[in-house]
């Protein structure tokens, strides 16, 4: 959204972090799923999400001004096409990405951007004294949120790539980082059309591979 006033446009960009956090909180609370069938009064939404009604109203009112929700008369809210993408059952869902963007360690790293610009060093490493991937591998919840976010982003692109690119000319196909996706992801090795003789291989971090193996065992019912 742009206006004819550069000051207004700049102020909107400066305040973008506030909208981002509001969307992340909304995704964390699952508000889009609460509103998936119809518009609801703020009290009903607050009860469903165990939130303070007045504070929640201010959040949803803000998101209505950003186009994520629509505010109706009598403090009722409904989803807009943007808000529909935060539903957990949407074919275009970005709820996991919204949750990931709002994680404290993500915010903190962006907040330390000046250190990276001045020194060329990782802002995350500066704050936490550790490599990002190693740090996250020791925190299961953060890893699950990140993996879900990556799966959302790769889903649509994966369908297009797997169906439109001719992989038959290759003897070996390597999926880098592929073990992080769910088994149903469209760009899994099994979804790539290629001759039977083509060797398919996935490369990922050890922690990601172990997670994938656990998912496959759980899916097959093996122990």
- pLDDT tens, 163-210? 777 777 778 877 776 545 444 444 455 555 555 656 666 666 666 666
Q: Which of 98, 106, 12, 20 is nearest to 59 (CA)?
A: 20
Which whole number is the average pLDDT over 115-121? 97
Of residues 180 and 130, the one with the higher pLDDT is 130
For 197, phi then psi, to 5°, come to -75, -15
Beta-strand pair 76-79/172-176: unpaired
Contacts of 216 (CB under 8 A, 6+ apart): 183
* Cα gap 75→43, rounded to integer Å: 9
Q: What is the pLDDT of residue 213?
A: 65
Owner of token pair 């607050």 = 46
Average pLDDT, whole number, for the chain?
A: 85
Q: What is the pLDDT of residue 86?
A: 97
Query: CB–CB of 51/12 below 8 Å?
Result: no
Which whole number is the average pLDDT over 69-86? 97
At the topology level, CATH places domain 6-95 in: Arc Repressor Mutant, subunit A (1.10.10)
Across 107-133, b (16+ Cβ under 10 Å) vs e yields eebeebeebbeeeeebbbbeeeeeeee
pLDDT confidence of 142, banded at 50, 70, 90?
Answer: very high
Write the pLDDT tens digit of every residue in 4-58.
899 999 999 999 999 999 999 999 999 999 999 999 999 999 999 999 999 999 9
Beta strand residue intervals within the chain, DSSP E: 40-41, 69-72, 76-79, 172-176, 199-203
Q: What is the pLDDT of residue 163?
A: 75
Where along the chain do the CATH 1.10.10.10 domains lie? 6-95
| Res 75 pLDDT > 80 | yes
């Amino acid at each position: 959204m742009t206006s004819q006033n550069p000051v207004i446009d700049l102020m909107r960009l400066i305040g973008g972090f506030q909208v981002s956090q509001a969307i992340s909180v909304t995704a964390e609370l699952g508000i889009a799923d609460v509103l998936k069938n119809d518009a609801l009064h703020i009290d009903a939404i607050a009860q469903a999400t165990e939130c303070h009604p007045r504070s929640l109203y201010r959040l949803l009112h803000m998101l209505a001004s950003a186009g994520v929700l629509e505010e109706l008369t009598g403090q009722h809210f409904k989803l807009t096409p943007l808000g529909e993408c935060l539903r957990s059952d949407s074919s275009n869902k970005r709820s996991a990405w919204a949750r990931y963007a709002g994680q404290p360690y993500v915010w903190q790293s962006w907040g330390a951007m000046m250190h990276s610009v001045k020194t060329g060093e990782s802002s995350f490493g500066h704050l936490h004294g550790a490599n990002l991937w190693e740090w996250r591998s020791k925190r299961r919840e953060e890893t699950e949120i990140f993996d879900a976010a990556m799966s959302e982003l790769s889903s649509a692109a994966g369908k297009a790539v797997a169906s439109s690119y001719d992989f038959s000319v290759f003897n070996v196909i390597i999926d880098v980082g592929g073990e992080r996706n769910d088994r149903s992801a469209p760009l899994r090795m099994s979804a790539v059309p290629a001759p039977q003789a083509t060797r398919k291989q996935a490369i990922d971090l050890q922690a990601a591979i172990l997670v994938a193996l656990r998912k496959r065992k759980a899916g097959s019912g093996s122990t």
